[in-house]
Amino acid sequence: MGPTLDRVIKRTREDGLRSAVLYSAPGELQSLVRRRIRRFLRPSLTELAAMTAQGIHRSPKPMVEELLDTQIEDALLDEASVTLDKLASRVVDNQLAFPPAFQVGIGSRLVLYILAAMLRPNVVVETGVADGMSTLVLLEALKHHEHGSLTSIDVRKDVARLLSSEELEQISLYRLPPGHRRAKLRELLASPREIDLFLHDSSHSFAWQNLEYELAWHRLADGGVLVSDDVDVSYAFVFFCDKYSLTPSLLFEGTKVVGAVQKGSS
């Protein structure tokens, strides 16, 4: 609980609710109520853009260049484009378990491939596998650059249908059990090894996004990157960036916004 809520609760206990409402500073109550209500709302594009230095990007390349403060070589873009085209063909050839909306967007695929290539991460973790497009993208980048391992986490059993049996053996795939999902996620992310690249693409409720951001951020290595799909679905990403004074890089993908922050860059 924050100091504002502590003060309101203290006054309520000592003098009753009426006194707490009447004599607490109006600004404090307004701030508290506004923050509580926003847990159930979605941020506007204007609000999200105000968090950034360069606004919301509509192309992956400038988004990643802003995030990492460096230029992306054309050779890497060509490599990523060829790889992603090959991976996209698997969607046609496979019977999928999830609706198309569950797949990571085309722009996000390029973002993930470039990050996995440029960061040369030792440890990559993703939550929310679905049919496995993001899993494939990250795995292909790691294999191509001969660096790093991938841990993928979901709540369902019928995930990663796009991956071959050989590819499934190259990742660590975990299912969070019903009734113990928070505990298992905490356990998985409490590994002694720091995370270099983290992708959130699981439940987009405020509570779950907030949990994942906090757990991942505390395990993220200096220079590591946290990427989140659907940062426009709840205020969790806004509150998270505000809490740690982070300036995110954002990508608009038609119907949603993808966000990313680098640890130690703000």
| Sequence letter at residue 85 | D
DSSP string, 161-211: TTS-HHHHTTSEEEEPPTT-HHHHHHHHHT-SSPEEEEEE-S--SHHHHHH
148 and 235 inside one domain: yes
Check whether residue 198 and residue 250 sit in a common domain: yes
Q: What is the mean pLDDT of the chain?
A: 88
Indicate whether 257 pLDDT > 80: yes
| CATH number for position 160 | 3.40.50.150
Say what the pTM is: 0.86
- Residue 8: pLDDT over 60: no
Q: Which pLDDT score is estimated for 12?
A: 56
Residue that has been written with the tokens 């060829």 in this structure? 82
The percentage of residues in the chain with a pLDDT greater than 70, rounded to a whole number, is 84
Contacts of 168 (CB under 8 A, 6+ apart): 160
Give 151's DSSP letter: E
Write out pLDDT tens, residues 142-163: 999 999 999 999 999 999 999 9
33 and 50 together in one domain: no
Same domain, 10 and 140: no
What one-character DSSP code corresponds to residue 101?
A: G
Q: Both 170 and 214 in a single domain?
A: yes
Q: Please provide residue 50's backbone torsions phi and psi, each rounded to the nearest 5 degrees.
A: -65, -20
**Full domain range(s) for residue 75:** 45-262
Strand partners, 127: 153, 200
What's the structural domain count of the chain? 2
Closest by CA to 227, choosing from 205, 255, 253, 196, is 196
Residues 73 and 50 in one domain: yes
